[in-house]
Amino acid sequence: MDFNFDEIVSRKNTNAFKWDALPPGDVLPMWVADMDFKTAPAITNALSNRVAHGIFGYTQTPPQFYSAITNWWQKRHGFTIQQDWIVPVIGVIPGLSAIVRALTQKGDKVLIQPPVYNHFYITLANCGCEIVENNLIYNGAYSLDFTDLEAKASSPDVKLLILSNPHNPAGRVWTKDELQQVADICLRHNVIVVSDEIHSDLVFDINAHIPFASLGEEHSQNSITLASPTKTFNLAGIQVGYLFTQNSIFKKAVNTILVMQEMEMLSPFAIEALIAAYTQGEEWLEALKTYLHDNYLYLKEFVTQNIPGVTVVPLQGTYLVWLDCSVLQKTSVSLAEELLQNNNVKVNAGTMYGAAGEGFVRINIACPRTQLKEGLNRLKAGL
The answer to whether residues 224 and 254 touch, using CB atoms and an 8 Å cutoff, is yes
Label residue 1 exposed, middle or buried (CB < 10 Å: 0-12, 13-18, 19+).
exposed
Q: For residue 135, give the DSSP letter.
A: P
Residue spans of beta strands (DSSP E) within 46-129: 86-89, 109-112
Q: CB of 295 within 8 A of CB of 284?
A: no
Q: For 17-41+282-382, which CATH superfamily applies?
A: Aspartate Aminotransferase, domain 1 (3.90.1150.10)
Model confidence pLDDT, tens digit, residues 334-377 = 999 999 999 999 999 999 999 999 999 999 999 999 999 999 99
Residue 51 has pLDDT above 90, yes or no: yes
Please compute the mean of the pLDDT values over residues 267-291 and round it to a whole number: 98
Of the pLDDT bands very low, low, confident and very high (cuts 50, 70, 90), residue 124 is very high
Q: Which amino acid is located at 342 in the chain?
A: N
Parse the chain into domains and list their residue ranges: 17-41+282-382, 55-280
Neighbours of 321 (CB within 10 A): 23
- pTM: predicted TM-score of the whole model, two decimal places: 0.97
Q: Give the residue from 146, 137, 210 showing the smallest Cα distance to 173.
A: 210
Mean pLDDT of 289-318: 97
Asked if 86 and 242 touch (Cβ cutoff 8 Å), the reply is: yes
Give the containing element (helix H, strand E) for 232.
helix 230-233
Tell me the pLDDT of the chain averaged across its residues. Answer: 97
Distances (CA, A) of 184 to 216, 245, 299: 11, 18, 37
Q: Which fold has domain 55-280?
A: Aspartate Aminotransferase; domain 2 (3.40.640)
